[in-house]
Amino acid sequence: AITARRVVAKTGSESGAPPTGFRWLVVATCAATYALVIVGGIVRATGSGDACPDWPRCHGELLPPLESDVLIEFSHRLLASLVGFLVLATAVVAWRTQRHVPVVFWGALAAVGLVGGQIVLGGMTVLNDLSPAACHIAYNYNTPVDVAALKREFERIKAAVKDEFDW
């Protein structure tokens, strides 16, 4: 027999699972971030990183010239803007709906800081004509990441999410 409790549990309202909309926002944010990494690789491989000499505009315009290198670099900037807004939206929704799940809430806030750092670094790279590779190496060097510790933390988070949401 289907009871009201079973129906509510399946929708996630009573189980504590994040709302479906929040889950889709997180998936969209992850997918856009992955695409940004891919497009960033294309920018690097094609040498298009200096195709837009100013920031945040490109050649002083909101819409850049229709040249392949410029369009590759500008598409990276547009996608980075989308990722920035998605990460910010994820943090706002997490603050409004997931404050009771610290790993989700603080993870979303940490993402805002990390993406913000990358945005500042990208702007500094363009405005000061710095080597993109050197800037990103410096940023990553100053962002302490120990792979073993990262793996342990991932396993801890995965277990906490599984326990919290019964996944």
Is-catalytic flag, 73? yes
Total H helices, total E strands in the chain: 6, 0
**Which residue bears the tokens 């200096």?**
50
**Which entry of 14, 73, 155, 164 is annotated as an active-site residue?**
73
Number of Cβ within a 10 Å radius of residue 49: 19
Helix, strand, coil shares, percent, the chain, to 5: 75, 0, 25
Tell me 16's DSSP state.
-
> Chain-centre distance of CA 143, in angstroms?
16
Checking phi first, is residue 59 left (phi over 0); if not, alpha (psi -120 to 50) or beta?
left
Q: Are 145 and 139 in contact (CB under 8 A)?
A: no
Residues classed as catalytic: 73
